Amino acid sequence: MTIGNSLSIVYSNNLTTFTDNKGYSNNITFNDWGQAISVADFGKGTQDLASAYGKVYNYGTSGGSKNKLTLDGNLTKSVNNLLLNGSGEYDGHWVGANWGLNQGTYSMTTEDKYSGNRSLKITNPDSGSYYTFYTQQISAQKGKTYTLSVKAKAVNIEGIEGGQLFIYYNDSNRTTS
């Protein structure tokens, strides 16, 4: 006997999981009105978000757009951000520092933000060879590929000393490369 195509469907609270006979699965999340608000494609044999692709949907809530699809999001892949508190939403994980004789300042601010309610702010009054910066230590494996993403706003920057990203790798002996 040859097994044909099959599809397993598991229902739970606002979530339906479809798994085919080869082990590929998709999750569809619904709002309380039964509208699909997200789809996650986990591939074969895993529920790991790091390997999933996803898409989101929004619906109108009033007037002529009520219950109409207002956003059919782009297909995206989850990115594992190794930086903790990347948007500066809460205190911790980032350490402000000065390099050289500079007396620049660093703070969390609500003046300008990209995601959430706060952001990291650096003020450097000296454009010479002194730096004010934030630092964060993360764990990573040598030889692997990582993506770093930064959203920065620069005001009154002159010359090449404006904004820079420094990456240092320390091996188990704390040797920098």
| Contact between residue 130 and residue 102 where contact means Cβ atoms under 8 Å apart | yes
Lowest mean pLDDT among 12-21, 83-92, 155-164, 166-175: 155-164
- Condensed to tens digits (0 to 9), the pLDDT of residues 90-148 reads 888 888 888 777 677 888 888 888 777 888 888 877 656 677 888 888 888 878 777 77
Q: Which two tokens stand for residue 135?
A: 């630092």
Q: Is the pLDDT of residue 7 over 70?
A: yes
Alpha carbon separation from 57 to 16, 40, 67 (Å, rounded): 16, 12, 12
- Condensed to tens digits (0 to 9), the pLDDT of residues 46-90 reads 666 667 888 999 999 899 999 999 999 888 876 667 778 877 888
| Contact between residue 39 and residue 54 where contact means Cβ atoms under 8 Å apart | yes
Question: pTM of the predicted model, to two decimals?
Answer: 0.52
